[in-house]
Amino acid sequence: MLRKLITDKRGVSELVSTAAVLLILFLLTGMILQMMALGTAQLTVTASAFSAARAAARSEAPYETAKEAAERYGTGFLKDWIDRLNVTLTAPGGFDPGDRITVEVTYEVPPLFSYFPSPIVRGESTQIMEEIP
């Protein structure tokens, strides 16, 4: 069967076109999967930043609380969340009630193909420090 397919000119062209279509479908599927991973990571990072900023605004130890809240939020969603996570808290005015704090969360998304660099997604949220009862 294979010998007949190779010796027949029409069979070779069909074989080549099938291989090309399969390659294109494989690459298209990979791109779709990578875009889904990026979308999921972006949503998780944004929500994690909000959760971390909200928790830090109500805490006596804002940085530790923000880091812990961000780590807890994304653990069930993304692969190697804690290892690829970076949490930055900035408070230009300090940590007094009424001062603004900003939490920035970045995550390095694992690439589907090793030929490309890992994309990094970023989320940021700003909250106002609250009085602690």
Beta-strand relationship, 120-128 and 85-90: unpaired
Q: What is the pLDDT of residues 80-120, one digit of tens each?
A: 899 999 999 999 888 889 999 999 999 999 888 777 788 99
Residue type, position 124, single letter: E
Using a CB cutoff of 8 Å and minimum separation of 24, what contacts does 34-42 make? 34/111, 34/112, 34/113, 37/109, 37/110, 37/112, 38/109, 38/119, 38/121, 40/77, 40/78, 41/78, 41/107, 41/109, 41/121, 42/121, 42/123
| pLDDT tens readout for residues 21-80 | 999 999 999 889 989 989 999 999 999 999 999 999 999 999 999 999 999 998 888 888
Give residue limits of the domains in the chain.
Answer: 2-128
Residue 85 host element (H or E):
strand 85-90
